[in-house]
Structure 1
């Protein structure tokens, strides 16, 4: 197994999906050990650091990558398996940002009111207990919360020479901000350009579903992942139209759009197609089955597109082998690597 370690310098950060030359070329089956900076590019370090004074828009959400995957072509599927996602610092930050967030007026939901006040929270990590501490800014309350590390952004270059901000989620993945993107899962992304050009970033030490105020517990990460390639047409497999996620216990689809119900619809339609592939069902039978078993955790309701997840527990299905058992294979490879 090839092993590649990469820690970008600030001048190597990618701020978009597409339009960025690769930082390295890797073969399918490579184990990548990566460091990612937080969404604020490390600029919010104390409670006195306010976004308007310290963030340089649009230089937020720096990505590590992109990586060129040998042999990847449009129509293929890239499988990214997260072996481990571990906090790289003993602190992380969150904030309210003017005209940004799910419960604030924004440039797209315009109101005459003033923006909500800016405020920054610093969360301190206790590695021994596996917690981060919420400390109220307007009072004395402190709560230790269990960490649940995840990556907000995982994506490939879009099709048609498109270049998209690293703040945007769409069919190529991107800033989906789903807590389901944690260690132990495999993310499947349709390849749009030669080499796929995938990157990751936006580490969260934990995040609630929906990411209400627009920022999670944002922190730098040390992440180990395996990358594999599923060739188009292999075994009748077609590349997914929307990002798919597989864990040991569930299969999931992430749809991103505005309004939120269209993000939900995109994830539901993709899951109908996936159930049809896995179980040999026609579309209406898959639609009926999904109606009775789907879970719909929110991902984000604050980004330029909203993201919704459709989730199906494997225990409710006959035994299935998504992408010819790729997730199980990568789990085995990960165990060997560690």
Structure 2
């Protein structure tokens, strides 16, 4: 099976279906992306808080790509199998004025530079106080080009993906994205070493990453109208989840969309009536606030444990 690569300089700063692809591949092939951190290289392991004041905001959250996948057509689904995500040996977390859930209460910039132990897969938040953060690397940005013409900021999430900032999209997980243009035009970036649900201050452990993914066109998932994903098993959480997401400017509407999509998924894949599926969502599903700071849109996920389906393969 062919393995391709996309370099750091092969990036763009908007979701735009007019951007020429940097790579053409066949469905089912694997691509490794060498991605800078979300600052686009403006911050380094030697940066100080003064660097936050000097950030050029128009250069933030670049994504590597786009990649054209042969056979992808509007209405299809792109299956993205995340094979591996490797961090650098450093990262940063910052308070950026105007960003974050409490940006009005924390108006001053702040910066923390992390030393990442890649062998041990952790980073100390404060070694003296015994606060240790396990790594769970993932790409914050993962998406395909929108069908609507024009340039759309990489800062918010969209129904075609984008800045999902969802911590469950780590190695071993699978993401499903609705395709709106020929070739899909897939891009990825914004490496994270670890993050909590919601990313409340607006940044995670931001770090350059090398992400390897397999890209497969699916013709059999018409119910994927916004990102869906399947989590990977981990030692700390052996359960696997199937998740539907809602992306909207209103949290309640995003939540409603996530539930509607799960109901449709359960009907197609598990042959449940809409009433049965709605009740199952209530007794077994967990609504999670995956991303709440990259305005104007929120990402709300409904996560359903796969173990409840005892007849499933």
Q: Same fold (TM over 0.5)?
A: yes
Change (3 A) 1:126 1:52: closer
Change (3 A) 1:319 1:151: farther
Q: Which of 264, 268, 271 is the equivalent residue of 1:273?
A: 264
Out of 203-212 and 158-167, give the one that drifted further: 158-167
Deviation of 1:142 after TM superposition, in Å, equals 6.0
TM-score for the superposition, normalised by structure 1: 0.85
Deviation of 1:47 after TM superposition, in Å, equals 5.1
Q: Which of 220, 226, 229 is the equivalent residue of 2:214?
A: 226
1:24-61 C-alpha deviation (Å, 9 max, x unpaired): 11111111111111111122223514455332122101
In the alignment, which residue of structure 2 is the partner of 1:101?
100
In the alignment, which residue of structure 1 is the partner of 2:301?
309
In 2, distance between residues paired with 1:134 and 1:26? 41
Q: Is the 8 A contact 2:223 2:261 kept in 1?
A: no
Deviation of 1:319 after TM superposition, in Å, equals 3.5
Q: Is the 8 A contact 1:278 1:320 kept in 2?
A: no
Which has more strand, going by share of residues?
A: 2
In 2, distance between residues paired with 1:159 and 1:318? 38
Which has more helix, going by share of residues?
A: 1
In 2, distance between residues paired with 1:259 and 1:51? 33
Deviation of 1:170 after TM superposition, in Å, equals 1.3
* Aligned residue runs from structure 1 range 12-161, under 5 A: 12-18=10-16, 19-45=18-44, 46=46, 48-50=48-50, 52-87=52-87, 89-105=88-104, 116-135=107-126, 141=129, 143-161=131-149
In 2, distance between residues paired with 1:51 and 1:311? 38
Unaligned runs of 5+ in 2: 233-239
Change (3 A) 1:51 1:308: farther
Q: Is the 8 A contact 1:33 1:223 kept in 2?
A: yes
Deviation of 1:219 after TM superposition, in Å, equals 0.4
Q: Is the 8 A contact 1:44 1:54 kept in 2?
A: no
1:289-321 C-alpha deviation (Å, 9 max, x unpaired): 111111122211111111111100011124447
In 1, distance between residues paired with 2:211 and 2:286? 28
In 2, distance between residues paired with 1:151 and 1:5? 16
In 1, distance between residues paired with 2:274 and 2:150? 31
1:318-338 C-alpha deviation (Å, 9 max, x unpaired): 4447xxxxxxxxxxxxxxxxx
Count matched residues. Answer: 303
In 2, distance between residues paired with 1:50 and 1:75? 46
Out of 283-292 and 52-61, give the one that drifted further: 52-61
Change (3 A) 1:38 1:274: same
Deviation of 1:200 after TM superposition, in Å, equals 0.5
Q: Secondary structure at the match of 2:171?
A: coil
Unaligned runs of 5+ in 1: 106-112, 322-338
Deviation of 1:8 after TM superposition, in Å, equals 2.6
Matched, 1:171 2:152: no
Deviation of 1:254 after TM superposition, in Å, equals 2.1
* Aligned residue runs from structure 1 range 197-276, under 5 A: 197-231=185-219, 234=220, 237-247=221-231, 249-276=240-267
Deviation of 1:168 after TM superposition, in Å, equals 1.4
In the alignment, which residue of structure 2 is the partner of 1:296?
287
Q: Secondary structure at the match of 1:183?
A: coil
1:51-110 C-alpha deviation (Å, 9 max, x unpaired): 5533212210110111011111101111010011111x21001100112101223xxxxx
Change (3 A) 1:159 1:320: farther
